[in-house]
Amino acid sequence: MPVRKIPKNYRCITGIISAQKAVGEAGYEASLERDFLLLLEFDPDVKAFEVQPLRVNWRDQSGRRRRYTPDCRVEYIDGLRKPTIFEIKFRRSLWADWNKLRQAYRAAVHATAMEGFRFKILTEKEIRTTYLDCVKFLLPFVRRGTDHASKQFILSAIDKVRITSPRELMAGISDNPAENALLLPSLW
Q: Count of CB atoms within 10 A of residue 18's CB?
A: 8
Give 91-128 pLDDT, tens digit per residue. 999 999 999 899 999 999 999 999 999 999 999 999 99
The more confidently predicted of residues 163 and 75 is 75
Name the 3-class secondary structure at 29. coil
Distance between CA atoms of residues 143 and 76, nearest Å: 20
Q: Please, what are the domains in the chain? A: 15-130 (3.40.1350.10), 145-187 (no CATH)
pLDDT given for residue 127 in this prediction:
98
Going through 20-141 in order, the beta strands assigned E by DSSP cover 26-28, 46-51, 56-59, 65-68, 72-76, 84-88, 118-122
Give 23-67 pLDDT, tens digit per residue. 999 999 999 999 999 999 999 999 999 999 999 998 888 889 999
The torsion defined by the Cα of 129, 132, 134 and 135, in degrees rounded to 10, comes to: 160
Distance between CA atoms of residues 176 and 178, nearest Å: 6
The more confidently predicted of residues 58 and 87 is 87
